Structure 1
Amino acid sequence: MKSVGNDDSGKTPSIQEEAAEWLLQLRETPQDTDLCRRFEAWRSQSPEHRAAWDRTAAMWDALGAAPAEYERLSPARGTNAARQPMRPARGHARRAWAGVVGRPGLAAASTAVALCAALFFGPAVMLRLQADQLTRTAEIRTVKLDDGSTVVLGADSAIKSTFDESSRKITLLAGEAFFDVIADGRPFVVTAGGVQVEVLGTAFDVRMTSAATDVALAHGRVRTSFGDDMGSQATLEPGEVISIERENGAETRAAIAIGDIATWREGRLYVTNQTIGSVVELIQRYHSAWITVPDRGLAAKRVSGIYDLSKPDQALRALVGPYGGNVRSASPLLRVITRL
């Protein structure tokens, strides 16, 4: 069992993330008295810890009593709905806590808990349950795999690896990663948003957004596949990038300077002929605030350029300024991009 408060990246999870993990652990072993004792010690640390648990327990209660409510309480990321803090219903929270600890039958509700976590706590908790390695906002980390290959994970990124005697498989669950693969006779396959990248020994970048998966080859050779039967295939040469739209499989290939591949590792975002909306999505991974572009026409404009990820607000202004866009700080936790 994972210990709440510890993380492989060496970074401390937020209190709200810890509360969500306590819920998942208590759901798994509701009669574990030592777990309950440690939970009570965690909850008693501060008013913030108690408030985080109240929100978590109230969400659990709402899930059972009114399943449709979590759509109202948890606006989709990327919409222009303001994120409103949920007011905890303390009576409900106490009943939810008693239910989690005292009714073993709730341990069977794993699907409901997973849905609650996905909708309310966002990708962070769900990725923590699936991923072998992950990063948070503005964090870049290098990971050495069991075969000696290395992966540089971009911000808000996560991978899961499965190695055996005959194959090496990596799933990019979110974000972007640069792979430097050592050839050892076994195929090395990266899956990202329905796209497969097959290699033997090479260095390449894989980037996922909500609309597409991009693969850029630095050296070696890779073959990409897409579709239900993986019948749509393309082989890349060094200095090529391919973008595959997940909705329809449309492919766009272009040349790219080797030095411009995965420049995010040095804090620079290089894009060519990308929509403003997709670039905002990439900058979001380096910004602590939520960013929304309500103007779909502005979001659809295409841009090429290099943006400084260490200064995300400045990058946003440089991105939308030439098209009459303005970055408005609605609050420290919200940026709204509109036309002037």
Structure 2
Amino acid sequence: MLTRRAEPPLDPSILEEAADWLMRLSEHDLTDTERAEWECWKVSSPERSRAWSRAQLLQSKFGGLPPALAMSTLDRPSNPERRAALGKLALLLAAVPTGWGTWKLAQSQQWSADYHTAVGQRRELTLADGSRITLNTDSAIDVLFNTRQRLINLRAGEILVQTAPDSSAQPRPFLVSTREGRMQALGTRFTVRELEPRTQLAVLEGAVQVELADGRQTAPIIVNAGQRTDFSAQAFGQLNPTDSNVGAWTRGMLMADKMRLADFVSELARYRRGFVRCDPAIADLRISGAFPISDTQRSLNMLVQTYPVLVTGHLSGYWVTLSAA
């Protein structure tokens, strides 16, 4: 059976051109001159034709522009809001055909959750029982406390949990659930990160009992302080020592200790709107240092000053590429 070869990625500048035409078409009727210019642009190169095909697919999925981008204030080219929306739209075009599903999932996970954070935001909560939850970037949780349990459902992202003793007449278990399983705190402090189809758990104090979502044939395990693991709905990963920097994000830092540049970029991108790409030629470059996640541009500048890395921005900073200097 023949397999279809994956298409090469489109140039960010061409995606921005397609996004601009899509936005102009949604904002007002084109003049005859503008329409002729648009028709000429579409067929001027194979890459532009491919970019416009993605724009049409996106239009058909949304029935127009995504609602969050279809704003009447966007009709002035120099408007900063328009430039920001243009960058977001170009990123959606880069992700088509998966972009629509990702957009819908992110919106439903974030805005229907009890508590959530935006990209780059962190949030601390004190729950009714005195337990504390810190949400990392782009995270969402539901909180369900009743007479039988204290349950945190992690829909997306990452949390740090510091449990408090239950003062109820009948002490209730403190539970954290993900798609892959359920964790019961045994007087503890720990982090949980949802990376569907796996969950990452790191225990800083106390212990956590873990039960798999589909673990009828697998007994629960206990992860003790100083240990970490990951698990799917069917199987546990290995127990390993906890990384001493696992909670550095709560202090606004990303700690790297001889970390692969590709892995560093993947982590930093969590705190930055847009797309950050690392050239495979420098993916294995090892870097170390403390980098601020509240100012990702400063972190990128620190890389340039310390390592042989060149940072190139497109789409008003929404698309960043790291390459060899």
Corresponding residue number in structure 2 for 1:283: 268
Runs of 5+ in structure 2 lacking a partner? 1-22, 28-55, 67-87
Structure 1 residue 135 displacement after superposition = 0.6
Which residue, out of 246, 254, 267, partners 1:269? 254
Corresponding residue number in structure 1 for 2:202: 216
Quick one: distance in 1 between partners of 2:230 and 2:256?
12
Structure 1 residue 179 displacement after superposition = 0.7
Quick one: distance in 2 between partners of 1:238 and 1:173?
24
Q: Which one-letter code corresponds to 1:312 in the other structure?
A: T
Corresponding residue number in structure 2 for 1:328: 312
Q: How does 1:142-291 map to 2 (within 5 A)?
A: 142-184=124-166, 185-209=171-195, 212-226=198-212, 228-229=214-215, 231=218, 233-244=220-231, 249-257=236-244, 260-270=245-255, 276-291=261-276
Runs of 5+ in structure 1 lacking a partner? 1-46, 52-57, 71-81, 88-114
- CA offset digits 1:174-225 (Å, max 9, x no partner): 2111111123221222123514321142111112346753222221111234
Provide TM-score, normalisation by structure 2. Answer: 0.59
Provide TM-score, normalisation by structure 1. Answer: 0.57
Indicate conservation of the 8 Å contact 1:209/1:278, yes or no: no
Quick one: distance in 1 between partners of 2:111 and 2:276?
26
Corresponding residue number in structure 2 for 1:55: none
CA gap 1:134/1:336 in 2 versus in 1, 3 angstroms = same
CA gap 1:283/1:252 in 2 versus in 1, 3 angstroms = farther
Structure 1 residue 335 displacement after superposition = 0.8
Matched residues, percent identical? 22
Indicate conservation of the 8 Å contact 1:136/1:157, yes or no: yes
Computing the radius of gyration from Cα coordinates, the structure with the larger value is: 2
Alignment coverage as a number of residue pairs: 244
Output the aligned Cα RMSD: 4.3
Indicate conservation of the 8 Å contact 1:213/1:245, yes or no: yes
Which structure's relative contact order is higher, taking Cα pairs within 8 Å and 6+ residues apart?
2
- CA offset digits 1:200-257 (Å, max 9, x no partner): 4211111234675322222111123446216264422222232447797533511444
CA gap 1:200/1:290 in 2 versus in 1, 3 angstroms = same
Quick one: distance in 1 between partners of 2:118 and 2:161?
19
Structure 1 residue 150 displacement after superposition = 1.4
Corresponding residue number in structure 2 for 1:310: 294
